Structure 1
Amino acid sequence: MGALYWQYFEQIDKVTAATAGLQLERQLYREQRTAGGPVLEPLTAATPLRVGDVLVVRLVLRADRDLEYVHLKDQRAAGLELIAQTSGYRYQSGLGYYESPRDAATNFFISYFPKGTHTFEYRLRAAQSGNFSGGLSQLQCLYARSLRPIRPAPGC
């Protein structure tokens, strides 16, 4: 028996998305305060962030099957600081998960992820000016080497 593990480094701007029954999309918005309430405008190269701006990160996750023990890790660029820094269990739109913000990334731990589309959001504040590359968004089923559907236990 044997195994092979291959690891290499690549420029982050050249990393492409993988597909395996899951689709993860990261959307970035600048939050503008108006008289009618907050408004989200898409972030583009033509409208860069300024120090003090609020950035809303929206992660849209689509799954073609029910999954369990899902870990979603969203790394963030340098120059951005978390606004809400407390970990905790969250519940929205029928999905319960544990959110754990850290220095370099925000982690989402989901015990049961039902088939369909689910959205996660969190807010950051621009603390530095400059040109920064965003980090990777990673998704994996814990306790499994690959994504696996939920199967009933033998005898059920």
Structure 2
Amino acid sequence: TAVLSITKNLYKKVKSSDGDKLLELNKEIVKPGDLITIRLILKTENDLEFVHLKDLRASSFEPVDVISKYEWKDGLHFYRSTKDVATHFFFDTIKKGTYVLEYDVRINHSGSFIDGISTLQSMYAPEFSAHSISTKVKIE
């Protein structure tokens, strides 16, 4: 099995009386203006130091939160930086385990797009790396 893995899933965020619901993107019709949640699932079997995660976005996705900042989620401390093409996450340490990162984007125009891959790599030991698959996104 791989020491390091990353999975990327896309969900349509829908408001309901019960709060926000996440619906699988490939089963939903999406249109400009819809809110999409990008979920990144990181798994590591070793403790790692100085790790970079680059998450490429489809060209029709505009990030909702563009302010670069330090964040803390589920025991994972990181710096998140949003750029034109990708969102970057920088980790000083990642302890052995499974972690879920999410952020929202808004669809800004229609068409067929390929959502980019996510690449997770140790900066000290580049042989420890993983990437996700890309997803085709059809926006009506």
TM superposition score normalised by structure 2: 0.87
Q: Which has the larger radius of gyration?
A: 1
Would you say the 8 A contact 1:75–1:137 is kept in 2? Answer: yes
Matches within 5 A, 1:1-156: 20-44=2-26, 46-147=27-128
Shift of 1:21: 1.1
Helix, strand or coil: the match of 1:145? Answer: coil
Would you say the 8 A contact 2:31–2:110 is kept in 1? Answer: yes
Count the aligned residue pairs: 129
Shift of 1:61: 0.5
Structure 1 moving runs of 4+ over 4 Å: none
Shift of 1:144: 2.8
TM superposition score normalised by structure 1: 0.79
Would you say the 8 A contact 2:43–2:97 is kept in 1? Answer: yes
Would you say the 8 A contact 2:56–2:115 is kept in 1? Answer: yes
Would you say the 8 A contact 2:61–2:106 is kept in 1? Answer: yes
Q: Structure 1: how far apart are the matches of 2:30 and 2:107?
A: 7
Unmatched runs of 5 consecutive residues or more in structure 2: 130-140
Indicate the percent of aligned positions where both proteins have the same amino acid.
Answer: 39
Helix, strand or coil: the match of 2:46? Answer: coil
Shift of 1:48: 3.3
Would you say the 8 A contact 1:29–1:41 is kept in 2? Answer: yes
Unmatched runs of 5 consecutive residues or more in structure 1: 1-18, 149-156
Greater RCO, 1 or 2 (C-alpha within 8 Å, sep 6+): 2
Helix, strand or coil: the match of 1:78? Answer: coil
Q: Structure 2: how far apart are the matches of 1:89 and 1:74?
A: 17
Q: Structure 2: how far apart are the matches of 1:29 and 1:123?
A: 9
Name whichever structure is richer in strand by fraction: 2
Would you say the 8 A contact 2:12–2:28 is kept in 1? Answer: no
